[in-house]
Structure 1
């Protein structure tokens, strides 16, 4: 009997929008997933909730050789990082008896639930993400992930399906893909994504002031990366460095709305894949949105240029 029910994984796959068809395995994948310190790709930052991302990285660090991206990819397939609304994810069991965001069978969770990790609850619960993700890391570690001995065998023990193994590794490879931006832009994105859910507050510079406005968020994000920006959207636009009209966007770019000759009234942080994170307006919260849904923009700057960023597209 599989350590985790194949039926449970198939149900979760259908719910989360992950491709249900087998993903062709690329042998080079395993060679790129040999440690647990890989920096999150823009796709990983955009897709994984900040709290789950932190738990995956912390849990993977308890098993030498287990890359956090593999653990996160399991969480993606099983429950879309706890966001699936199917039975068994947040309470009860699904038709196969699996429970929680990592879809454990009760007997299997009992075998790997201890010791209780920092942030976990006592008694351990398969529905609590800290308990569940650390248990999954232990299970993978015990079955081949330690020292990266045989990650395919470890994943096959989690779900007895070659297609499942290939799918998880393909997602892990995407989460591990080298970013197209430098570390400063990556840090700014990570900070901004961690603020999702905070209230929009006019003039707000952070949680200590109740929330952010649009330029308060971008200023704080780049401050976390060691880059000082002016306070308002218009002065941030003026500060540059600006990109030439139509230049391709990179994660970390600031996209501005309004009239550059009179007043720029809104700024968002581009995170890749056509998405931005921003503090929209009164009554809303920091959120991810499709850039195209915000209408035409006035211009783009690349604050991290010169810190590992490409400058080829900059305006003269």
Structure 2
């Protein structure tokens, strides 16, 4: 096309002015440019393994005794809940054990609560000090390895509190977990505000596996298209409730979500945990892949040879699971820190499934 000389000169001048504007633009203006320009959009940090420990703010370091801060961070990371939330509970309940009110260092308060994290004795296990070799129902925990769950011992009490928060929805549903801890929304609000002040970022973070935007990398990394379909279905069920015997679409139990996920990929596997365990080919721990199953010696009537709970591996160390009615909704959790793992299996190596895959390929 024939372009006149004046128009060409005008275009050169305009381009030069735009370039000059970019060169002299102040650093503040440059940082205000939306990060989606040129990189396809702001992406969430999906590289964390869910156990990253947030840095403590200066106010946290000044307010929390050093031994307590270490325990909050240690047990928060071990169990998989935000240490800042644990610390905020400890602050709100007893000022990190410094309160002289009844029940903090001995006895109970008027509500029957005791210790630095103010557990109801009935919730702890029926008495303040419980040998960990005994049978009990509660959150009594041994955080220092002395063989006793002592509600007045900060190491034990903080570990027990972490377990309670985890069981009731943390780290994803912190508000729900805190409401179970002390059934008042004003309490929940206060604890969250304290936690924000303790975290250097000023926010209570959730692990990347709680972010829907982190599903895509997991699915894309699947070892096959079939596994990608299985993962996509299972991850889409997050947030739905656990119901024993549930196979969807509104609720699931631990084996039900796996059965339904494989069915969504056109494959039929056994329905229950007890029948899924012998069905898949056993996989050595450390060699498991997305789509494999991880089994646990958990639940009534189970044993190392008869696991009663199952989750689906979504990445190394992570699984999607429907755990129990009181454990919160279906979510991605960490399996590497659990001491009840029985083993791993790969249903896709079962001869029946191999035949189904061949049939699907030839259809």
Structure of larger gyration radius: 2
- TM normalised by structure 1 equals 0.43
- TM normalised by structure 2 equals 0.38
Question: Which one has more relative contact order, counting CA pairs under 8 Å at least 6 apart?
Answer: 1
